[in-house]
């Protein structure tokens, strides 16, 4: 019993300190990912728009829709994702089609109201496929749109707008945006919109949203907990 007492005490002390640190940082940003319907775009309406989302375009037929990326779009193990994944979450991604010059919108208003002065965070994935989606006439290289933007909030009270980067051909990149609504935004519902602008028919952007994002403190607790258990086991042998 004496042999394992020290490791157990050590592990208990570490966990206690981390729990205290987590309590101190309880004012960390509130993650909004879990407030969306169909965040990873696994289901779609008959015309292709992701269920629960609104799709629009300045060109008829150019609205966003869902598809299942395959090896024509991303190479497993070399696309910014772990293992054999071709999509960050689930099997589907949303994408803005490539039909000439147009602006495409993918948006959702969720049942959540902002608290003035509270910081929020939104984490999502952008993908730049190697080839266009759902091509039946052969592979066509996919270029990046002229711009891709994220808007959170709408109306005159507040609205945040960010230009989003090109992940690189055949790559996914995870992006987190943090923001703090002003007092005027109190009571407004959660509104998020992805916007892309194309000037030719060979441009495409893919979107995916993880249903939840672990807090850094939670991950640290898990990692150190596993390390502590491993140390206890080694002492018992």
Co-location of 230 and 125 in the same domain: no
Looking at residue 183, its pLDDT comes to 75
Q: Are strands 171-179 and 160-163 parallel, antiparallel or unpaired?
A: unpaired
Co-location of 109 and 14 in the same domain: no
Co-location of 38 and 24 in the same domain: no
Q: Are 147 and 163 in contact (CB under 8 A)?
A: yes
For residues 217 and 41, the model is more confident at: 41
Co-location of 1 and 51 in the same domain: no
Characterise 80 by phi-psi region: left (phi > 0), alpha (psi -120 to 50), beta (else): left
Name which of 4-13, 44-53, 86-95, 106-115 the model is least confident about: 4-13
**How does DSSP assign 176-228, residue by residue?**
EEEE---GGGTTPEEEEEEEEEESSTTB--EEE--S----HHHHHHHHHHHHH
Structural domain of residue 233, as residue ranges?
1-28+215-237
Q: Which ranges of the chain does DSSP label H, i.e. alpha helix?
A: 2-24, 216-236
Co-location of 108 and 201 in the same domain: yes
Looking at residue 114, its pLDDT comes to 83
Co-location of 56 and 131 in the same domain: yes
Task: Quote the number of domains for the chain.
Answer: 2
Q: Cα angle vertex 88, ends 87, 89, to 5°?
A: 95
Q: What is the CATH number of the domain that holds 181?
A: 2.60.120.260
Co-location of 56 and 73 in the same domain: yes
Co-location of 76 and 124 in the same domain: yes
Report pTM.
0.78
Co-location of 167 and 233 in the same domain: no
Looking at residue 62, its pLDDT comes to 72
Taking CA atoms, 164 is separated from 52, 97, 124, 177, in Å, by 23, 18, 11, 10
pLDDT per position as a tens digit, 125-151 = 999 999 998 776 678 888 999 999 999
């Amino acid at each position: 019993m004496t042999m394992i007492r020290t490791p157990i005490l050590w592990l208990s002390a570490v966990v206690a300190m981390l729990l205290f640190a987590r309590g101190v940082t309880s004012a960390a940003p509130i993650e909004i990912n879990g407030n969306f319907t169909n965040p990873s775009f696994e289901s779609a309406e008959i015309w292709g728009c992701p269920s629960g989302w609104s799709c629009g375009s300045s060109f008829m037929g150019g609205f966003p829709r869902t598809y299942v990326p395959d090896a024509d779009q991303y190479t497993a193990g070399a696309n910014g994702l772990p293992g054999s994944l071709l999509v960050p979450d689930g099997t589907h991604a949303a994408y803005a089609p490539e039909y000439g010059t147009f602006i495409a919108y993918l948006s959702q208003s969720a049942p959540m109201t902002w608290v003035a002065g509270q910081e929020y965070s939104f984490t999502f994935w952008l993908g730049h496929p190697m080839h266009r989606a759902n091509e039946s006439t052969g592979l066509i290289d996919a270029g990046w749109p002229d711009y891709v933007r994220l808007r959170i909030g709408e109306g005159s009270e507040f609205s945040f707008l960010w230009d989003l980067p090109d992940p690189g051909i055949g790559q996914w990149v995870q992006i987190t945006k943090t923001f703090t609504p002003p007092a005027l935004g109190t009571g407004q519902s959660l509104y998020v919109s992805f916007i892309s602008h194309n000037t030719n028919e060979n441009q495409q952007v893919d979107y995916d949203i993880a249903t939840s994002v672990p807090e850094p403190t939670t991950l640290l607790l898990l990692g150190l907990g596993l390390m502590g258990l491993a140390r206890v086991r080694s002492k018992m042998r």
